[in-house]
């Protein structure tokens, strides 16, 4: 057993920031991460960090833009905290040596980004996330913070009171990928989950293979509800074979989208008669998919993004990196042929429900970064708002976990008297646990709440048994099959287009996946670096996460932000200014809603039409 | 890591087929350098015969002193002439590649490092071939 | 974490001298080759001729300097090569000692030879 | 039966004498049995163009894999397929025990540097159509193999950590000061390439010197130090301190300008140039008359 004051799970931007903050607050911190920190997916972010740094800009404008972008589903206290703290945190990164792009006078550069009323996206070339990740890892090295890398966290060690609000988290159970050893990590003060996005729930995503929503699933099973999971952002231009992102810059410079008939469909089929290719992300993504669905896709899969007419000079000057991406990852020369693109899952607005201090309803359990939902992004995230979220809320979670007083949070968490229960929606199948694999949930299934160490030991035992079972089983289904089926279902039915029928179909398939998972086995008999085992466990997490996304998508019968429903083409403010919350009650999801907080410090945000 | 696999010597020598220009340059430069320092030692040894020759004015005048005879004896051998051509090749390559390395050290023309290596090789060949007549004149087979 | 390496000689000086001597050698070696193989043919070398050249003090000094730089350059090169191959500790010290002795011997002998040639001894 | 097809047609003897005697994978009828049959069947069903890959296999625990061997896989070719895609396909469809690190699939995480057809390359950034078949995929040379394509990176990380890889400045303003340090765009440009390193370890693996001398800092670590040493935001004193670390015996002088690091770096960092520049800086510092 290992013991520390604060355990941070995950070492992407959010995890690193949390660890540094907890360390500065005087706690003995350790990071447990399934990848070496510099391998985290934060490194893929290109665009930048929104922060109101310049004179003439103002945090209130940033907050306003964010609220509007969220389609009024962001919680004002969170949104305002983000806008207020982002400048200081961004400058702090600069003080740690992050190589931001510079102006002639030596100040950091900022550029305009979609949905922003002021050019406040601070960037470091086209590799902002890479620099942010590496700069913070450098600080972790400098501070000598303990990092357990290539340790896969399997579960939370949480007490088992019936009401999650009464539960406490005492640590985590992890296994060392290199040796297969399973150990408990005791956290005397708190556990911060910073495990990143759940993109692998989808077949086609810009997210890494490691983005499997482990934190979501573990917190969920420990009792913390998942919030607004139905809000998934899809990016219209990703390469079909890998999901690598082709930046909006191509369309910004004049790139044109064609279908297989050579039609400039954004105009010719009337998706956006004014802005054409430059319409907002969700509009373009839907247009592309409609083309493919109606048989005008190339190879029934994608459309073409053509930039040849811009001329070699202009392309080399402004879009050179795009040429490399298309060449390296798709084998296509953008100067000679059009590039294939299709919509890809990009970001999850929802996540583990937390307050402004990063705390969940379970005492001692925190979450930050993409896996958390403080609710700054609401129904739709603005480009450049995720990275500031990592540093602002990563820091707060770290500090709070280490015992710093950050004041009373305004956001409430967990099931309480301010929530409204879901009553109407009919489900096609019973979601939740399918039987045997009682991996999740809290430590002492119905048993007496033991002391922290006892709880941890018991969780370690369960984890060992589970792994033994998976390894010993001789025959059955392999996870890859289940995962592929799940991803396909999500992409077919819970993608950009959502219909009631489709989402129900997805829930049925998810149910099948759960059942098949009962029969899953790990073929690789080795304890050494068994990625088969790791992926098998991840697949279980993906099922939980996918189910919560589909459930959310089914109950929310309106069109808000990134969530589009065929039968419900308008935003319903009277009914739906509330968050969807899904919690795991003894293996069975239950759904409830909590109203959005629109009252800010100085003003109340009035929902307006989201037009740009 | 106790259980990891160490691929042993193959790592150090077995991959020569996959070497790139820079590595070959490094190996050749080493080789030629060692040859040259080796030669320097023998060279001084041969020249040391002059110690014995010195003072014997008559022999010197008659060009029959040890130094002269040793040198001319050696030079009369075809093998030695061949070796001399080899030495020239070695020296020329070492010089040319040495110049290349000096450029690299000064940060000049780094992008062309492979081309300059090939150029050194070609030039060495050319100079060596061109010098053969000079080296082989007057040798009695 | 790998320890902070500390060693008495940082190594920069030797690296630098290797380059400086190389630069010097380019000139002198070219001159030497040219003189003894193309202007005067090696097979025609006689003590007389050698003596005639060596009697010129400038030439003598150049040749001695040539010898010293070449020895330093060559021996230092060999030493570097060995150290790069991972020579450590006592072994490394022994090799250094041998090389130093050899090069001192070489330079001494060479200088002695040159002086006899020039007739100064 | 078509089982025999799956057997590697040519169990090409690896050059390593230690690797001799590699058995055909048929010897390895592990649990789940019939893996090989299954693969044969699946492969036989493949239509259209396929790619032939030979993958290095080793596992200290599993019988039949303790002696390293190469396994053959035939995977269907699709346009845009990368080396990483091919091994992922082989793992998901044929043999789930095939082990390698990977994550981002877009050349930013640095997990999947392999030795492909005799050169260190990022699996995800290498189009398989650019390679000669069969494509030989091995773990990075000069590092110990943990399993299959996974190598032990600890030594690489140690070297990276040894150069004090973090920004240092005595008079960094405190966090609450809302003012950035100034840096000219030219200076930012100067360190730009060096800051792109993704810690993939390809360079270190390609360097003969690093292979022979475990203490040599290696191109990646030196480049990391370069990023800070050349950054004007760090003061002169700290730069001197950094040079002192770099000019140790096992520092920059070890580099013999072999250029292979520069050639394999997937991020096109001019490593040799950076190392050479640091050598000159160190000499300048030591020879004050410069
Ligand atoms: C291509 C792309 C471009 C983007 N561009 C931008 C942009 O320009 N601006 C912006 O603001 N945002 C951008 N985003 C979004 C943003 O980058 C992400 O939301 C953010 O980086 C997520 O950071 P994180 O710290 O939460 O998670 P990650 O960086 O994904 O880190 C997750 C960590 O958790 C660890 N982990 C996961 N599961 C486990 C487990 N079971 N056990 C142990 N450890 C575990 C992993 O090892 C990893 O260290 C982009 C995203 C993508 C995909
Ligand atoms: C004439 C011009 C010469 C030039 C330009 C030259 C240049 C160089 C350079 C730059 C190096 C350093 C290589 C490195 O450290 O990376 C070197 C190494 C060396 N040189 Fe020379 N050199 C010359 C002549 C000589 C002579 C005359 C000798 C023999 C006495 C010699 C023997 C060596 C040796 C032994 C090495 C070490 C090789 C190794 O790395 O193993 N060089 N030379
Ligand atoms: S310098 Fe290049 S090759 Fe070396 S680790 Fe960094 S990215 Fe990889
Ligand atoms: S390969 Fe090695 S020798 Fe130097 S130039 Fe690169 S570090
Ligand atoms: S998978 Fe991340 S670099 Fe290749």
B25-76 pLDDT, tens per residue?
Answer: 888 999 999 999 999 999 999 888 887 777 777 888 877 788 888 888 888 8
The answer to whether the Cβ–Cβ distance between D248 and C12 falls below 8 Å is: no
Q: What pLDDT is recorded for position D208? A: 84
Taking the CA of residue B47 and the nearest CA in chain D, the distance in Å comes to 34
Compute the distance between CA of residue A90 and CA of residue A104 in angstroms, rounded to an integer.
19
Place of tokens 């082709």: A246
Is the link from the previous residue into D134 a cis peptide, with omega within 30 of 0? yes
CA distance A157 to A246: 41
What is the dihedral angle through the alpha carbons of A114, A120, A123, A129, rounded to the nearest 10 degrees?
A: -70
Which of 90-129 (B) contact D at CB < 8 A? 101, 104-107, 110, 113-114
pLDDT digits (tens, 9 = 90+) for A415-433: 999 999 988 888 988 888 8
pLDDT tens digits, A50-93 = 999 998 999 999 999 999 999 999 999 999 999 999 999 999 99
The enclosing H or E element of C59 equals helix C57-84
D231 shares contact with chain A (CB less than 8 Å): yes
User: With a 6 A CB cut-off, is D250 part of the ligand 5 pocket?
Assistant: no
Nearest to D158 among C1, C6, C13 (CB): C1
Query: Does residue C4 belong to the interface with chain D, where contact is any CB pair within 8 Å?
Result: yes
Q: Report the number of distinct structural domains present in chain B.
A: 2
Selecting from D213, D214, D247 the residue whose C-beta is nearest the C-beta of C10 gives D247
| Predicted pLDDT of residue A333 | 93
Q: How confident is the model at residue D117 (pLDDT cuts 50, 70, 90)?
A: very high
Q: Which of D213, D241, D253 should we substitute to test contact with C (largest number of C Cβ atoms within 10 Å)?
A: D253
Is A1-231+349-612 assigned to CATH 3.40.50.720? no
D228: closest chain A residue by CA: A97
Across the beta sheet with A256-258, the strand order is: A232-238, A339-348, A303-306, A256-258
Helix (H) or strand (E) holding A85: helix A76-95
Residues of D in contact with B114 (CB under 8 A): 259
Indicate the length of chain C as a whole number.
Answer: 121
CA–centroid distance for A11 within its chain: 14
Task: State whether B92 and B58 are in the same domain.
Answer: no
User: How far apart (Å, rounded) are the C-alpha atoms in residues A290 and C31?
Assistant: 79
Question: Given an 8 Å threshold on Cβ–Cβ distance, is D179 in contact with A530?
Answer: no
Beta strands A29-33; A2-9: pairing state: parallel
Could you give the CA distance from residue A444 to residue A161 in angstroms, rounded to a whole number?
9
The ipTM is: 0.90
Which pLDDT value is given to residue B2?
34
Token pair of C73 as six digits: 């350059």
Q: Does D2 touch chain B (CB under 8 A)?
A: no
Chains in touch with C (≥3 Cβ pairs < 8 A): B, D
Percent of chain A past pLDDT 90, that is, above it, reads 81
Burial profile C92-107: b = 16 or more Cβ within 10 angstroms, e = fewer: eeeeeeebeeebeebb
* pLDDT value for B138: 64
CB atoms within 10 A of CB C120: 11
Flag whether residue D250 sits within 8 Å of chain C, measured between CB atoms.
yes
Asked whether residue B25 is domain-assigned, the answer is no
Contacts of C10 in chain D (CB under 8 A): 244, 247-249, 282, 286
Closest residue by Cα to residue A265 from A297, A243, A239: A297
CB contact under 8 A, D280 and B3: no
Structure-block tokens of residue D259: 């250029």
D249: pLDDT confidence band, cut at 50, 70 and 90?
Answer: confident
Q: Please, how many CA atoms are within 13 Å of residue B88, restricted to the half-sphere of its CB?
A: 26
Q: How many domains does chain C have?
A: 1
Token pair belonging to A361 = 């309803």
Q: Which of D85, D175, D185 sits opposite A102 (nearest CB)?
A: D185
| Pick from A63-67, A153-157, A246-250, A548-552: least confident | A246-250
Domain D46-147: CATH superfamily is Beta-grasp domain (3.10.20.30)
What DSSP letter does each residue of A300-354 carry, written as one string?
Answer: TTBEEEE-GGG-HHHHHHH-HHHHHHHHHHH---TTTSPEEEEEEEEEES-EEE-
Q: Is D216 on the interface with B (CB under 8 A)?
A: no
Residue B120 in tokens? 């050194």
State how beta strands A420-421 and A588-595 pair. antiparallel
Backbone CA torsion sign across C49, C53, C56, C60: negative
E strand spans, A380-459: 420-421
Chain length of chain A: 612
Instruction: Give the Å distances, CA to CA, from D21 to B51, D12, D54, D68.
Output: 62, 11, 17, 9
In a domain, B88, yes or no: yes
Give the closest residue (by CA) to ligand 4 atom 4.
Answer: D255
Torsion-angle region of residue A115: left (phi > 0), alpha (psi -120 to 50) or beta?
left
pLDDT tens by residue, chain C, 121 residues: 333 333 335 567 888 889 999 999 999 988 888 887 777 777 777 888 888 888 888 999 999 999 999 999 999 999 988 887 777 788 888 999 999 999 999 999 999 988 888 877 6
Using CB atoms, pick whichever of A96, A101, A138 lies closest to residue D188. A101
- Check C10 against D209: CB less than 8 A apart: no
Asked if D41 and D2 touch (Cβ cutoff 8 Å), the reply is yes
Q: Whose CA is nearest to atom 24 of ligand 1?
A: A196
pLDDT for residue A109: 92
Range(s) of the domain holding residue C22? 10-118
Burial B72-87 (b: 16+ CB within 10 A, else e): bebbeeeebbeebbeb
pLDDT at B140 over 60: no
| A348-376: pLDDT as tens digits | 999 999 999 999 999 999 999 999 999 99
What integer pLDDT is reported at residue C88 of this predicted model? Answer: 76
pLDDT tens digits along D39-91: 777 777 777 889 999 999 999 998 888 888 899 999 999 888 999 999 999 99
Question: Best substitution site from D261, D264, D276 to test ligand 4's pocket, by max atoms within 8 Å of Cβ?
Answer: D261
What is the distance between the alpha carbons of residues A106 and D188, in angstroms, rounded to a whole number? 9
Q: Which residues have C-beta within 8 Å of that of residue B16, sequence separation ≥ 6? A: none
B45 lies in some domain: yes
CA–CA separation, A523 and A545 (whole Å): 25
Strands D113-116 and D135-138: antiparallel
- The SS3 call for residue A431 is coil
Catalytic option among A281, A381, A556, A594: A281
Tell me whether residue A160 is exposed, middle or buried, using C-beta atoms within 10 angstroms of its C-beta: 0 to 12, 13 to 18, 19 or more: buried
Is B22 a domain residue? no
Which of C6, C14, C83 is closest, CB to CB, to D248?
A: C6
Q: Would B8 be classed as within a structural domain?
A: no
Kindly report the backbone phi and psi dihedral angles of residue A3, in degrees, each rounded to the nearest multiple of 5, phi listed first.
Answer: -135, 130
- Which among D213, D214, D287 has the least Cβ separation from residue C16? D287
Number of cross-chain residue pairs from C and D with Cβ atoms under 8 Å apart: 59
By C-alpha distance, which of A128, A140, A232 is closest to A562?
A232
* Average pLDDT value over all residues in chain D: 84
Identify the pLDDT of residue D30.
43
CATH homologous superfamily, domain D154-169+186-286:
Alpha-helical ferredoxin (1.10.1060.10)
Which residues, judged by CB distance below 6 Å to any ligand atom, belong to the binding site of ligand 1? A 9-15, 32-35, 40-42, 44-48, 128-129, 152-153, 194-197, 206-207, 210-211, 214, 245, 347, 369-371, 383-387, 390
Residues of C in contact with D162 (CB under 8 A): 1-4
C-alpha D229 – ligand 3 centre gap (Å): 18
Substitution candidate for ligand 5 out of D106, D140, D267 with most atoms within 8 A of CB: D106
Answer whether C8 touches B (CB < 8 Å): no
CA distances from A290 to A239, A302, A566, B62 (A): 18, 11, 13, 105
- Confidence band, pLDDT 50/70/90 cuts, at residue A155: very high
| CATH number assigned to the domain with residue range A236-343, chosen from the 4 options 3.40.50.11890, 3.30.930.10, 3.90.700.10, 3.20.20.120 | 3.90.700.10
Residue B13 lies in a domain: no
- Confidence label for D176 from pLDDT (cuts 50, 70 and 90): low
Hey, are the CB atoms on D212 and C84 less than 8 Å from each other? yes
Q: Taking residues B106-126, report their average pLDDT.
A: 89
Main-chain dihedrals φ then ψ at residue A60, nearest 5 degrees? -70, -35
Instruction: Print the SS3 string covering chain D.
Output: CCHHHHCCCCCCCCCCHHHCCCCCHHHCCCCCCCHHHHHHHHHHHCCCCEEEEEEEECCCCCCCCCCCEEEEEEEECCCCCEHHHHHHHHHHHHCCCCCCCCCCCCCCCCCCEEEECCEEEEHHHCEHHHCCCCEEEECCCCCCEEECCEECCHHHHHHHHCCCCCCCCCCCCCCCCCCCCCCCHHHHHHHHHHHHCCCCCHHHHHCHHHHHCCCCCCHHHHHHHHHHHCCCCCCHHHHHHHHHHHCCCCCHHHCCCCCHHHHHCCCCCCHHHHHHHHHHHHHHHHCCCC
Residue of D82, D88, D109 to test ligand 5 pocket, by largest number of atoms within 8 Å of CB: D109
Per residue in A23-40, is it b (16+ CB within 10 Å) or e — as a string? bbbebebbbbbbbbbbbb
- D207 Cα to the center of ligand 4, angstroms: 5
Domain hosting B56: range is 39-76
- Asked if residue B53 and residue B100 are part of one domain, the reply reads no
Count Cβ atoms below 10 Å from residue C42 Cβ, excluding itself. 19
Which among A464, A365, D244, A118 has a CA at the least distance from the CA of C7? D244
**Nearest-CA distance D154 → chain C (Å):** 9
Measuring CA to CA, which residue among A60, A89, A43, A71 is closest to residue A375?
A71
Looking at residue C22, which CATH number applies to its domain? 1.20.1300
Determine contact: C34 vs chain B, CB below 8 A: no
Ligand 4: list residues with CB < 6 Å: D 206-207, 209, 219, 255-261, 271-272, 275
Residue B66 or A37, more confident: A37
Q: How far is CA A376 from CA A73, A224, A392, A410, D23, in A?
A: 8, 18, 11, 14, 57
Q: Is D81 on the interface with A (CB under 8 A)?
A: yes
| Alpha-carbon distance values, C29 to C35, C74, D10 (Å) | 10, 13, 54
* Contact between D105 and A209 using a beta-carbon 8 Å cutoff: yes
Distance from C-alpha of D36 to C-alpha of D25, rounded to nearest angstrom:
8
**DSSP bridge partners of A143:** none
Confirm if D101 and D84 have CB atoms less than 8 A apart: no
Q: Looking at the structure, do residues B100 and B68 belong to the same domain, yes or no?
A: no
Nearest CA to D143 among D129, D132, D158?
A: D158
Q: How many CB pairs under 8 A join A and D?
A: 195
Shortest distance, CA B20 to any CA of chain C (angstroms) = 19
Instruction: Confirm or reject contact between C47 and chain D (CB < 8 A).
Output: no
**CA gap D227, D193 in Å, rounded:** 9
Q: D180 and chain B: CB distance < 8 Å anywhere?
A: no
B71 and D240 in contact (C-beta within 8 Å)? no
Does residue B13 belong to the interface with chain D, where contact is any CB pair within 8 Å? Answer: no
Between CA D271 and CA B40 the distance in angstroms is 35
Q: Where are the domains of chain A?
A: 1-231+349-612, 236-343
Beta-sheet strand order (sheet of D113-116): D69-76, D50-57, D135-138, D113-116, D119-122
pLDDT of residue C12: 75
Q: Angle, nearest 10°, between helix axes A531-555 and A500-517?
A: 150
Size of interface B-C (CB pairs under 8 A): 102
Q: Is A281 a catalytic residue?
A: yes
Report CB contact under 8 Å: D273, B26.
no
Instruction: Indicate the pLDDT class of residue D288, thresholds 50, 70 and 90.
Output: low
For chain D, what's the residue count? 290
Please tell me the number of the ligand nearest to residue B36's CA. Answer: 2
CA B133 distance to own-chain centroid: 19
* Mutation for B interface: C47, C48, C49, C120, most B CBs within 10 A: C47
């Amino acid at each position: 057993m290992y013991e520390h004051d604060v355990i941070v799970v995950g070492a992407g931007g959010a995890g690193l920031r949390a660890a540094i903050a907890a360390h500065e607050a005087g706690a003995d911190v350790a990071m447990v991460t399934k990848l070496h920190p510099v391998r985290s997916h934060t490194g893929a972010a290109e665009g930048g960090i929104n922060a109101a740094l310049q004179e003439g800009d103002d945090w209130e404008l940033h907050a306003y833009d964010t609220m509007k972008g969220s389609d009024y589903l962001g919680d004002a206290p969170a949104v305002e905290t983000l806008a207020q703290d982002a400048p200081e945190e961004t400058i702090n990164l600069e003080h740690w040596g992050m190589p931001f792009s510079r102006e002639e006078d030596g100040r950091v550069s900022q550029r305009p980004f979609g949905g922003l009323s002021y050019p406040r996206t601070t960037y470091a070339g086209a590799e902002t996330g890479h620099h942010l990740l590496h700069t913070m890892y450098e600080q972790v090295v400098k501070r000598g913070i303990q990092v357990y890398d290539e340790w896969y966290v399997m579960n939370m060690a949480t007490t088992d009171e019936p009401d999650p609000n009464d539960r406490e988290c005492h640590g985590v159970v992890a296994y060392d990928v290199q040796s297969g050893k399973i150990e408990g990590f005791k956290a005397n003060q708190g556990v911060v989950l910073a495990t990143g996005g759940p993109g692998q729930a989808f077949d086609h995503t810009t997210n890494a293979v490691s983005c499997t929503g482990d934190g979501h699933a573990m917190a969920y099973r420990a009792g913390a509800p998942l919030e607004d999971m139905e809000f998934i952002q899809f990016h219209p231009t990703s390469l079909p074979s890998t999901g690598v992102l082709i930046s909006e810059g191509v369309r910004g410079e004049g790139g044109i989208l064609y279908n297989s008939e050579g039609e400039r469909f954004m105009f010719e089929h009337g998706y956006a008669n004014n802005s054409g290719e430059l319409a907002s992300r969700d509009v373009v993504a839907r247009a592309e998919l409609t083309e493919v669905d109606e048989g005008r896709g190339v190879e029934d899969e994608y459309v073409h993004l053509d930039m040849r007419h811009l001329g070699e000079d202009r392309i080399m000057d402004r879009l050179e990196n795009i040429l490399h991406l298309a060449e390296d990852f798709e084998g296509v020369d953008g100067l000679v042929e059009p590039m294939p693109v299709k919509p890809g899952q990009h970001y999850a607005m929802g996540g583990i429900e937390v307050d402004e201090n990063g705390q969940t309803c379970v005492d001692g359990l925190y979450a930050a970064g993409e896996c958390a939902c403080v609710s700054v992004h609401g129904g739709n995230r603005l480009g450049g708002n995720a990275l500031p979220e990592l540093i602002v809320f990563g820091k707060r979670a770290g500090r709070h976990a280490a015992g710093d007083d950050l004041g009373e949070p305004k956001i409430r968490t967990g099931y309480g008297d301010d929530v409204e229960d879901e009553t109407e929606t009919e489900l096609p199948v019973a979601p939740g646990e399918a039987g045997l694999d009682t991996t999740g949930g809290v430590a002492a299934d119905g048993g007496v709440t033991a002391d922290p160490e006892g709880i941890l030991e018991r969780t370690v035992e369960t984890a060992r048994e589970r792994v033994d079972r998976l390894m010993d089983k001789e025959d059955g289904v392999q996870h890859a099959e289940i995962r592929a089926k799940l991803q396909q279902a999500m992409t077919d039915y819970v993608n950009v287009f959502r219909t009631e029928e489709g989402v129900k179909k997805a829930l049925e398939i998810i149910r099948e996946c759960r059942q098949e998972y009962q029969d899953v086995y790990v073929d690789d008999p080795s304890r050494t670096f068994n990625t088969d085992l790791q992926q098998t466990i991840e697949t279980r997490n993906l099922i939980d996460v996918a189910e919560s996304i589909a459930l959310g998508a089914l109950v929310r019968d309106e069109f808000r932000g990134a969530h589009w429903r065929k039968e419900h083409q308008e935003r319903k403010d009277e009914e739906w200014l509330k968050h969807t919350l899904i919690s795991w009650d003894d293996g069975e999801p239950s759904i409830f809603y909590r109203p959005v907080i629109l009252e800010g410090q100085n003003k109340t945000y009035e929902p307006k039409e989201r037009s740009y | 890591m106790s259980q990891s696999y160490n691929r042993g010597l193959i790592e150090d020598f077995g991959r020569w087929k996959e070497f790139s220009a820079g590595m070959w340059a490094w190996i050749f430069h080493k080789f030629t350098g060692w040859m040259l320092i080796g030669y320097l030692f023998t060279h001084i040894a041969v020249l040391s015969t002059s110690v014995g020759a010195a003072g014997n004015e008559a022999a010197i005048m008659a060009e029959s002193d040890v130094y002269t005879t040793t040198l001319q004896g050696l030079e009369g051998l075809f093998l030695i002439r061949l070796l001399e051509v080899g030495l020239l090749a070695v020296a020329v390559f070492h010089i040319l590649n040495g110049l290349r390395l000096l450029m690299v050290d000064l940060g000049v023309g780094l992008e062309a490092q492979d081309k300059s290596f090939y150029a050194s090789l070609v030039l060495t060949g050319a100079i060596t071939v061109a010098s053969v007549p000079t080296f082989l004149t007057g040798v009695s087979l | 974490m790998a320890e902070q390496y500390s060693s008495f000689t940082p190594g920069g000086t030797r690296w630098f001298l290797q380059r400086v001597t190389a630069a010097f050698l380019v000139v002198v070696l070219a001159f030497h080759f040219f003189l003894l193989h193309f202007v005067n043919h090696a097979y025609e070398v006689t003590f007389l001729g050698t003596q005639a050249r060596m009697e010129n003090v400038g030439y003598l000094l150049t040749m001695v300097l040539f010898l010293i730089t070449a020895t330093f350059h060559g021996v230092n090169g060999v030493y570097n090569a060995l150290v790069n191959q991972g020579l450590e500790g006592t072994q490394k010290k022994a090799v250094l000692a041998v090389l130093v002795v050899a090069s001192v011997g070489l330079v001494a002998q060479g200088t002695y030879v040159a002086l006899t040639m020039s007739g100064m001894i | 039966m078509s089982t025999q097809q799956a057997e590697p047609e040519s169990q090409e003897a690896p050059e390593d004498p230690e690797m001799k005697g590699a058995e055909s994978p048929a010897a390895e009828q592990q649990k789940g049995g019939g893996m090989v049959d299954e693969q044969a069947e699946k492969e036989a069903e493949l239509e259209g163009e396929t790619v032939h890959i030979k993958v290095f296999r080793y596992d200290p625990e599993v019988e039949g894999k303790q002696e390293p061997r190469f396994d053959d896989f035939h995977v269907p070719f699709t346009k845009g397929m990368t080396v990483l895609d091919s091994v992922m396909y082989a793992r998901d469809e044929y043999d789930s025990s095939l082990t390698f690190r990977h994550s981002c699939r877009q050349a930013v995480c640095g997990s999947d540097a392999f030795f492909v057809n005799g050169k260190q390359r990022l699996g995800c950034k290498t189009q398989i159509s650019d390679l000669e078949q069969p494509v030989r995929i091995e773990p990075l040379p000069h590092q110990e193999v943990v399993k299959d394509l996974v190598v032990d990176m600890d030594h690489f990380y140690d070297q990276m950590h040894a150069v004090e890889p973090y920004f240092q400045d005595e008079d960094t303003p405190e966090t609450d000061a809302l003012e950035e340090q100034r840096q000219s765009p030219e200076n930012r440009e100067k360190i730009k390439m060096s800051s792109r390193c993704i810690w993939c370890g390809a360079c270190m693996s390609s360097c003969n010197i690093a292979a022979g001398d475990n203490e040599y800092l290696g191109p990646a670590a030196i480049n990391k130090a370069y990023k800070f040493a050349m950054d004007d935001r760090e003061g002169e004193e700290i730069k001197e301190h950094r040079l002192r670390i770099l000019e140790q015996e096992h520092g920059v002088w070890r580099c013999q300008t072999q250029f292979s690091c520069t050639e394999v770096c997937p991020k096109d960092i001019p490593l040799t140039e950076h190392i050479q520049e640091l050598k000159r800086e160190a000499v300048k510092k030591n020879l004050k008359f410069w």
